[in-house]
Structure 1
């Protein structure tokens, strides 16, 4: 594991990683923190890898710009909740309260991020459980359990044992996007692949899915820029 800086405005920091399993050079941008990892097969030199990264510099900068800068969570932050940007404002009492264009958060400033995250996780669990129950009923196959994580590379998964996992950040998406992801993972209860039969199952239990899938592809990485 090493590091290299590509000159430019701004400079780009690359994490260099050697892998015995890698068959070719690859570049990966972390959705969570924007770190760029350059993975090299053992037989490829660092210089060859860096030359490859320079060839892809425009692609890298474009994706990093699209991802946006990291945003802290504090009073005054505008945070998308169910696809609607709400301003975080000081609240009273004990509970976080969601309004049409604001989220009222009581507590000390240093507690704001943790309180907002806890509120969003519970809201995500409620919405994802309801959507998963609905699509599982339509499919006619139950799932075994549901868990939430803050995953880097996927929005959800379904295990061979029928366990569903989702990113809690789906609560930041428009509701139709969250429901699509739930339908996608529930469809794996019947088809543990991405064959035409799988996509037919998604269509059968959800309906057309191109619009929410495209929204997630175009906007999903930006949801990881919010740092709690």
Structure 2
């Protein structure tokens, strides 16, 4: 009976859950560190994410939190160097230059004008933004998302017709790790930031996701479908590999 009582007491002892994120102090400030356990990991590893401008610390399944944090602290210099290499954030404010379908546009505030956002410009492409200056970031973000939805819906349905498949809906998100996805029921999801890339890159991502309506994998038959829908896929993939991370620098936090 005594043994059982002690076991019960031990089982009821409070268990403190392991944090999923910690803050690491740098010489230049602080940075969020996301903790992830991986059963296949054999050592501690660090990765700086350009999209979220934070750090991921991967731990072996049996690794200790204390060892992981010590590992991160020993590599503060490495983290700082990589964070410093990230492109500067460009907010949606007066005078900022942002790409729309790959073409740089300067944001110009037009407080006296009616409407919301429209394109124009004679000497250089311009995004005109009407209304109160405090509303400029939100109005620019809303404009880009509307344009992204229009282009992605059109491209998705065009490729679906070419492939003889159906899609149930198209949604937009601000994802950090993937540009698009396709569910088993035909729902497509994309990053709205694709509107910042050249039009052919957006078109490729639409073809890629629509092809999953036939092949929910990345095997040879899937890529044959993508090439049928979008023969220039290698050029689009090269562009994303080289410039994709930079799309996350615009309007961060808007």
Alignment RMSD (CA, Å): 2.5
C-alpha deviations, 1:137-179, integer Å up to 9, x for none? 1111011111011111111000011100001110000000000
- TM norm structure 1: 0.87
Whole-angstrom distance in 1 between the partners of 2:193 and 2:207: 16
Secondary structure (helix, strand or coil) at the match of 1:146 reads strand
Deviates more, 1:66-75 or 1:154-163: 66-75
CA separation of 1:188 and 1:65: change in aligned 2, threshold 3 A? farther
* CA drift at 1:56: 11
Q: After TM superposition, list the pairs within 5 Å mapping 1:102-113 onto structure 2.
A: 102-113=126-137
Of 57, 60, 77, 1:38 maps to 57
Instruction: Indicate how the Cα distance of structure 1 residues 32 and 48 shifts in structure 2: closer, same or farther if over 3 A, else same.
Output: closer
Per-residue Cα deviation, 1:66-86 (whole angstroms, up to 9, x for no partner):
531222211101011110110
Match of 1:94 among 115, 120, 142: 115
Structure 1 residues 160-169 or 66-75, which shifts more?
Answer: 66-75
CA deviations over 1:43-89 (Å, ceiling 9, x no partner)? 22443675489679769845x45531222211101011110110000
Structure 2 runs not aligned, ≥5 long: 1-18
Aligned residue number for residue 172 of structure 2? 148
Which residue of the partner structure matches residue 83 of structure 1? 102
> Does residue 15 of structure 1 match 2:15?
no
Tell me the secondary structure at the aligned position of residue 228 of structure 2: helix
- Report how many aligned residue pairs link the two structures: 224
Q: Which residue of 2 aligns with 1:120?
A: 144
TM-score by length of 2: 0.79
Indicate conservation of the 8 Å contact 1:183/1:206, yes or no: yes
Q: Who is 2:89 aligned against?
A: 70
> 3-state SS of the aligned residue for 1:169?
helix
**CA shift in 2, pair 1:29/1:161, >3 Å:** farther
Instruction: List per-residue Cα deviations over 1:116-146 (Å, max 9, x = no partner).
Output: 1111111001100111111111111011111
What are structure 1's unaligned runs of at least 5 residues?
A: none
> Which has the higher Rg, Structure 1 or Structure 2?
2
* In 1, Cα distance between equivalents of 2:93 and 2:39: 41
Change (3 A) 1:52 1:3: closer
